[in-house]
Amino acid sequence: MKQNNRNQNLKRLKRIKDYIYPSKIIMDIGCDHGYLIKLAFDDEKTKIIKAYAVDNKNGPLNQAKDNLKEYDNVIYLLQDGLSTFYDDVDCVVIAGMGGELIIRILNDFFNKTTINHNLKFILEANKHSEKVREFMFNNGFVIDNESIIYEDNKYYEIDSFVKGNIKYYDYDIMFGPINLKERNKEFIDKWNNLLTKYKNIVQKIDDNNDKSSDKSIIEKKLLIQKIEEVLK
Ligand SMILES: C[S@@+](CC[C@H](N)C(=O)[O-])C[C@H]1O[C@@H](n2cnc3c(N)ncnc32)[C@H](O)[C@@H]1O
């Protein structure tokens, strides 16, 4: 994360922290500054008892060590994703990465591990949250908590997954099942913004009569239809 982002009110990280409870031992993959772990130790309700701070780069891991030096029960791991895992962990957090990287990390893990039924995954992809949801649904997870946070002029989709059995549909993958039910302000604003963006793109392509963009225009028009239906 860039330095200027560090002075924010940490709205996104606080929401992720809220989803940790009742888990007590977290593994934060891509912990960077270690702020999430700090929030999770300090919060009256969450009060985790132990954390694994994981990063694949020395710089961020050293930052985390520095920021978390007053906390005894933190184990620092320099590694790729979940390549080493400890069975006492009951909540894995992967936040602030692209969806495809998150899926790659989880796929590597699922291929070599039997997942404990109590293990929760809190995932916040900066891009392609829908791909992450689809991947998790296909691996037998359901969403128990979900929301959209607006911070730094961006919308962040946060999903918490636990093992379960719910039948989901295309719209659940695209928009998030709880987001669809709650339809809160951030949800409406995010999709209204995207609707305007896609309509502008389609309008420009139509105006230019650009045949090379046929496939992309069909995709965008379909998206527009779906968004309009959901926002009705
Ligand atoms: C943008 S920061 C996000 C930090 C924090 N999780 C948050 O949400 O604010 C991404 C962090 O993930 C780390 N990272 C990237 N790929 C990784 C991987 N394959 N395994 C572990 N950490 C990784 C980066 O070094 C960086 O510190």
What letter would DSSP give residue 70?
Answer: T
> Is 29 close to ligand 1, i.e. is its CB under 6 Å away?
yes
What are the angstrom distances between the C-alpha of 184 and each of 33, 86, 92, 189? 30, 37, 26, 9
Which residue's alpha carbon is nearest to atom 15 within ligand 1?
A: 30
- Does the pLDDT at position 227 exceed 50? yes
- How far is residue 225's CA from residue 191's CA, in Å, rounded to a whole number? 12
Ligand 1 pocket test: pick from 16, 54, 57 the residue with the most ligand atoms within 8 Å of its Cβ. 57
Q: What is the pLDDT of residues 57-85, one digit of tens each?
A: 999 999 999 999 999 999 999 999 999 99
Whether the predicted model's global pTM rises above the 0.85 cut = yes
Ligand 1 pocket test: pick from 4, 97, 102, 106 the residue with the most ligand atoms within 8 Å of its Cβ. 97
Residue-level pLDDT at 209 = 73
Continuous segment of H or E residues that includes residue 42: helix 35-42
Residue-level pLDDT at 2 = 42
Highest mean pLDDT: which range of 6-10, 49-53, 210-214:
49-53
Q: Strand 25-29 to strand 91-98: parallel, antiparallel, or no bridges (unpaired)?
A: parallel
Give the model's confidence band at 213: pLDDT under 50 very low, under 70 low, under 90 confident, else very high: low
> Is 95 close to ligand 1, i.e. is its CB under 6 Å away?
yes
Q: How far is the CA of 146 from the centre of ligand 1 (A)?
A: 21
Residue-level pLDDT at 212 = 66
